[in-house]
């Protein structure tokens, strides 16, 4: 599960639990519409992630047992949602374990690291406006500032706030095209009174892990050496990763479906020399050419650097009086 997926899930579960805690009856179809997810996702939340809660189902709606209304604090809600949203991290995330989450001693015994997120301090109002526009299906306009240049975006149809690798983005439709805008670049956001009809195809395209939404998916096959295969088996390293085949020598063939090559090339470069693109071959050839050019430029820069005067033979450090060779080294 990516960090972006984790943030979205935590947000959704927190709001659902708050609604239950306040005595609201949850309608799965209405929740699916509110959060921009499919009905099965909400049903999975209620039937699997909320199994430890004393819920009563009547006429398709879910309510919390009256005896438990108002018993959860805001911190309890956040603690539950954070852990329920990352079940894969814990080997025994049982009902009893989830109940213990509300115990301060239990919360202090667990620490999850490695999730670095963009801070939205000072941008809360803009974030709430975007959330409301998405929920109400209202067009928005805003000023986008990038690299010192500003551009006015108007008649934008917002669909989702996405957290991708700790960075927030607004997924929206503008001029008939699906785009993602870095949330930090958005200023002066205005919600209009003009409503829009949600496009089912756009909503479907938002269910993947990638950031290039609306682009035609491209499959990239990558070979992974046996000495690093366990990293790819332990958790997805690539976007929309699936293991195609495990070879006799322990190496892997891994598939990744991406909307843009930028979603896979940085990861492949990071794992060089243990990873190689098998298909499409043109992508591997272009990346190899770029790396070769980089090495050549680096070698040229090094040879062009002014030569330094040859150091005299003998100890690299001039020892002072009374200093032993061990102390001076």
What are the structural domain ranges in the chain?
3-107, 124-205, 218-299
Output 186 or 166, whichever has higher pLDDT. 186
- Let me know if domain 124-205 sits in CATH 1.10.3470: no
What 8-state DSSP symbol labels residue 261? G
Mean pLDDT computed over every residue of the chain? 78
- Give the pLDDT score at 304: 65
Quote the CA–CA distance of 65 and 8 in Å, as a whole number: 26
- Give the pLDDT score at 328: 36
- Give the pLDDT score at 276: 95
- Give the pLDDT score at 20: 85
Which range has the worst mean pLDDT, 55-69, 70-84, 307-321?
Answer: 307-321
CA distances from 21 to 65, 66, 272 (A): 9, 9, 50
Output 313 or 279, whichever has higher pLDDT. 279
Closest CA to 220 of 275, 157, 173, 155: 275
Q: Please determine, for residue 114, whether its predicted confidence score (pLDDT) is greater than 70.
A: no
Buried b (16+ CB within 10 A) or exposed e, 92-112: ebeeeebeebbeeeebeeeee
Task: Tell me which architecture the domain covering 3-107 has in CATH.
Answer: Orthogonal Bundle (1.10)
Q: Please determine, for residue 47, whether its predicted confidence score (pLDDT) is greater than 70.
A: yes
Indicate if the alpha-carbon torsion angle 312, 318, 321, 327 is positive or negative. Answer: negative
Which range has the worst mean pLDDT, 9-13, 80-84, 121-125, 250-254?
Answer: 80-84
- Give the pLDDT score at 6: 44
Reported as a pLDDT band with limits 50, 70 and 90, residue 76 is low
Reported as a pLDDT band with limits 50, 70 and 90, residue 84 is low
The CATH number of the structural domain formed by 218-299 is 3.30.70
Could you write out the DSSP letters of every residue in 14-33?
Answer: HHHHHHHHTTPPB-HHHHHH
Output 299 or 183, whichever has higher pLDDT. 183
- Give the pLDDT score at 52: 67
Angle, vertex CA 78, rays to CA 60 and CA 162, nearest 5: 80
Quote the CA–CA distance of 218 and 257 in Å, as a whole number: 5
What 8-state DSSP symbol labels residue 101? T
| pLDDT tens digits along 243-273 | 999 999 999 999 998 878 888 898 899 999 9
CA distances from 14 to 67, 264, 325 (A): 20, 32, 64
Closest CA to 189 of 134, 240, 115: 134
Q: Please determine, for residue 157, whether its predicted confidence score (pLDDT) is greater than 80.
A: yes
Q: Please determine, for residue 326, whether its predicted confidence score (pLDDT) is greater than 50.
A: no
Encoded tokens for 308: 């330094």
Which range has the worst mean pLDDT, 31-35, 114-118, 169-173?
Answer: 114-118
Residue 40: burial class (beta carbons within 10 Å; 0-12, 13-18, 19+): exposed
Q: What is the pTM of this model?
A: 0.50
Reported as a pLDDT band with limits 50, 70 and 90, residue 141 is very high
- Give the pLDDT score at 178: 87
């Amino acid at each position: 599960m990516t960090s972006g997926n984790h943030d979205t899930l935590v947000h959704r579960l927190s709001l659902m639990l708050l609604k239950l805690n306040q005595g609201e009856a949850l309608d799965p179809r209405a929740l699916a519409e509110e959060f921009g997810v499919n009905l099965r996702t909400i049903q999975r939340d209620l039937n699997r992630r909320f199994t430890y809660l004393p819920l009563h189902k009547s006429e398709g709606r879910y309510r919390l047992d009256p005896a438990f209304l108002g018993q959860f604090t805001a911190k309890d809600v956040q603690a539950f949602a954070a852990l329920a949203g990352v079940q894969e991290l814990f080997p025994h995330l049982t009902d009893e374990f989830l109940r213990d989450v509300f115990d301060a001693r239990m919360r202090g015994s667990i620490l999850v690291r490695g999730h670095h997120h963009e801070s939205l301090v000072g941008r809360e109002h803009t974030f709430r406006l975007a959330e409301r526009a998405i929920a109400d299906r209202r067009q928005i306009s805003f000023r986008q500032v990038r690299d010192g240049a500003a551009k006015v975006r108007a008649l934008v149809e917002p669909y989702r706030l996405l957290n991708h690798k700790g960075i927030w983005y607004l997924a929206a439709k503008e001029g008939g095209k699906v785009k993602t805008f870095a949330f930090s670049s958005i200023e002066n956001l205005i919600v209009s009174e003009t409503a829009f009809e949600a496009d089912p195809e756009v909503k479907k395209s938002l269910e993947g892990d990638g950031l290039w939404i609306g682009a035609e998916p491209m499959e990239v096959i990558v070979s992974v050496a046996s000495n690093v295969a366990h990293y790819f088996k332990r958790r997805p390293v690539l976007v929309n990763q699936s293991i195609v085949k495990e070879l006799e020598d322990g190496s892997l063939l891994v598939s990744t479906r991406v909307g843009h090559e930028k979603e896979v090339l940085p990861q492949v470069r990071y794992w060089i020399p243990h990873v190689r693109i098998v298909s499409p071959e043109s992508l591997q050839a272009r990346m190899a050419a770029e790396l070769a050019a980089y090495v050549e430029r680096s070698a040229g820069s090094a040879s062009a650097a002014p030569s330094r005067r040859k150091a005299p033979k003998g100890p690299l450090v001039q020892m002072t009086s009374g200093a032993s060779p061990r102390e001076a080294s």
